[in-house]
Structure 1
Amino acid sequence: MEGFEVAYADRDGSEFRLPLANAWAVRFEDVAPVRAFQSYQGQRHLPGLWWSATVGGHIGYESWLERDHVMLLDFDPSVVGISSQPFWLFWRSDAGKGVSHAPDYFARREDGTAVVVDCRPADRRKPRDMAKFEATQTACAQVGWEFSLVGAPDAIVVRNVRWLAGYRHPRHRLESVASELLVAFAEPRPLMSGAASVGDEIAVLPVLFHLLWTHELAVDVSVPLHTEAAVSVGVAGGC
């Protein structure tokens, strides 16, 4: 493999192609998708758009697996930018044949580091696909990006985060209730009793779930979320 190049498009439609070594400073979290998210009768995958609280706009996905992973990126408090189908990567194989690949996601972290993500179920990774993923990993290493090849995420984590995602929009944040909840959970306590201590659960719970999404409050999402789940002040709430 040699001579990696990338091609991308900015939000106004301008297209660029340049050596990978010259692209390390490009804000790929802000680029437009290089491929359209097509929908047609009989297709195996279900494409769509995910409204991201991180970027305040929609991010495309081509399958439910990709949807789950963009949701998890959106939930990750260290991620500050996400784009889908961020660029085409071009290179030549050891046999001299031209090869190209468009990764699924590019995510920028708060510390400036980046991760390129490809989503593929473990049982659907054919040798030809693996060769592309390995080349993409090599390319990412050359410019200091992490590469992550992901399959099906933990089902319980996905179920919990999907529930919290229903409250990710800022409209669920009522400042007066949020302030009281942060005080109520200053020490860890069961979810429902903490909510009840602030007021009517019907009014309070949407705000509580929003604070769990924003990590101002914290709960263990690796186990089923329930009324007795221990909730405490989170990484954002303690700032």
Structure 2
Amino acid sequence: MESAQPWRTFRWVFGQKHYSGFYWCVTERGHVIYESRLELARLLRADFDPDVRHIIAQPFLLRARVDGKLRRHVPDYLEFRSTGLTVVNVKPADRLDDPKVTSTFAWARQVVEDRGWGFEIASEPDPVELTNLRFLAGYRKAEGISPSVLAALRSRCLEGRALGDAVIHTDAPAPCARAALFHMIWRHEVGVDLTQLLSSRSVLRKIA
């Protein structure tokens, strides 16, 4: 299962309403596809989640006979977590009451949960948290971060410090220190309240 490839891919068509593409995923050390901005937002959240160790987009085709008719459905993501597998379906909140969507998710959930897997429906995330994650994702790759600056920050007690204060109390240039600190937040080496927009006043906390 872990070596599965996407069941389907996407096409770029002039005038299409959805936004498809590839996201370079730290968890995968490679690209993962998405078919909409909402799927990209969910993928970003999964890449940030330390409990997710593997992500497959469009992982397989589900088939079931419902009310005498053969039904088919391809989930958006399959996430491998420490607690097991989770099938993720991404759908805008204003479409969740659509009878066709409700019916599809009902039988798909039954099929998935009968295997002992988790089933999740993801809709629009909190806009502030998404803004923060999009920003932090710019610092997710270790290749662009100074190892010496990272070592210096890791040697300091950052808990309770404001983000701006932690940056200026290093010998490194502020842009380098700031980039290293954002990388540490992405890696969950230090925490911050992501329900509030990140700023120099954001208070750092220790990760349990």
Alignment TM-score, normalising by the size of structure 2: 0.95
Q: Distance in 2 between matches of 1:200 and 1:170?
A: 18
SS in 1 for 2:197: coil
What pairs with 1:1-239 in structure 2 (closer than 5 Å)? 26-27=1-2, 30-94=3-67, 96-109=68-81, 111-125=82-96, 126-198=98-170, 199-235=172-208
Equivalent pair of 2:88/2:122 in contact (CA under 8 Å): yes
Equivalent pair of 1:184/1:197 in contact (CA under 8 Å): no
SS in 1 for 2:205: strand
1:36 shift after superposition: 1.4
Identity of aligned residues (%): 34
Equivalent pair of 2:192/2:203 in contact (CA under 8 Å): yes
1:112 shift after superposition: 4.6
Q: Distance in 2 between matches of 1:185 and 1:195?
A: 12
Q: Which runs of 5+ in 1 are unaligned?
A: 1-25
Alignment TM-score, normalising by the size of structure 1: 0.83
Q: Distance in 1 between matches of 2:121 and 2:83?
A: 20
